[in-house]
Copies of this chain bind each other. A is one copy, B any other.
Amino acid sequence: MRKITIKEVAKEAGVSISTVSNALNNVDVLNPKTKAHILEVAERLHYVPNLNGRNLKSKTTKVLGLFVNSMKGPYYGTLVDTMYLECEKNGYELQVFISKNSMDMMTNILGKRVDGAVILNGWIGEEQETALRKEKIPTIFLDREICSQKISSLVFDSYTQGADAGRYLLTLGHKTFGYIRGAENNYDSSERFKGYSHVLEEAGHPLLTENIFDGFFDRDATYQATMKLLEKERKLPRAVFAANDQSAIGFMEALRECNISVPEEISIIGCDNIDISQWFTPRLTTIDTFYEKQGRMAVIQLLKLIRGEKIGTIQKVVGKIIERDSCQHA
């Protein structure tokens, strides 16, 4: 049994291939009867169009691509699922491209495998940015602020989140502060740091370098680092802001292990409001970044760029503090 192409369908139905194509893409130029007949034949032969041929000629794929270098962590699943929902609503497919090297990513984008791209944490540099700009590929960046005709940014307002966290802890009367930072060179982590430290500085309680800890956005890494820290018997700050909830939780786990009680001895506020933060004991005070919303907005904005309804902009999603049980007055 040979491979069924549009040619076989045409032959079997006794029409030309262009007529089959028209029937398939419901162009309403056909006699309804012929169309029905062709569709019946296609169905019977189990014809499935070759997407490479189709996409090559039509220069469109109806696919949006999400480009990431990993899927680990509670964040991605939600992001993908909300993006999918919005794509489906608009007749687009969603495909996720995993890649730790920016070349594969660029090949897929510039090689026309998608109509538009959402880039989360490709380690892409100046060169790739300009390539995307020049080729006018509709693109949304989730991890940096850049914008051009076909490129939009949709980032968390991380600076303000940091500032809010700082102000909140100050309101509670704390005087010594710590920060658990995320991955190096990460936009969100460094913005949160800037906002946080700026507010503390202004209030006359600057963040000391020795109180900046590494968490890498990771629960386990933070746990390990904190345990190591605690071996040294050094004095900890009274209030801590973690760059994300996972770090906050890893931190609290280490503290619990060492019988340091939260929030009595240390207040801690996280960021992201991931599912688990409301289940942990003590329930984690955190900043809701509305990251489910981000996925939806990214798709909506990307479709506008594709359709040419809008040119690129930089949008910032503001967060909101969720008060729970991990912070208390000094």
Binding site for B on A (CB under 8 A): 1, 46, 48-56, 70-74, 76-78, 80-81, 84, 88, 93-100, 104, 106-108, 110-113, 131, 134, 219-220, 249, 253, 275-276, 279, 281
Query: Is the pair A97, B95 in contact by a Cβ cutoff of 8 Å?
Result: yes
CB distance from A112 to the nearest CB of B (A): 5
Q: Most B CB atoms within 10 A — which of A73, A81, A249? A: A81
Q: Which residues of B contact A111 (CB under 8 A)?
A: 48-52, 54
> Is B71 a contact of A77 with CB atoms below 8 Å?
yes
Quote the shortest CB–CB distance from A51 to chain B (angstroms).
Answer: 4
User: What is the distance, in angstroms, from A288's C-beta to the closest C-beta of chain B?
Assistant: 17
Q: State the Cβ distance, A81 to closest chain B Cβ, in Å.
A: 5
Name the contact of A281 in the complex, choosing from B71, B72, B95, B281 (C-beta under 8 A): B281
| Contact pick for A72, options B1, B81, B97, CB 8 Å | B81
Q: Contact at A93–B88, with CB atoms within 8 Å?
A: no
Minimum CB–CB distance for A128 against chain B, Å: 11
Contacts of A71 in B (CB 8 A): 71, 76-77, 80-81, 96
Task: Decide: A110 and B48 in contact? CB cutoff 8 A.
Answer: yes
Q: A72-B77, A93-B98, A220-B275 are in contact. List 8 more A-B contacts (CB 8 A).
A: A46-B134, A48-B107, A48-B110, A52-B113, A56-B56, A70-B84, A84-B100, A276-B276
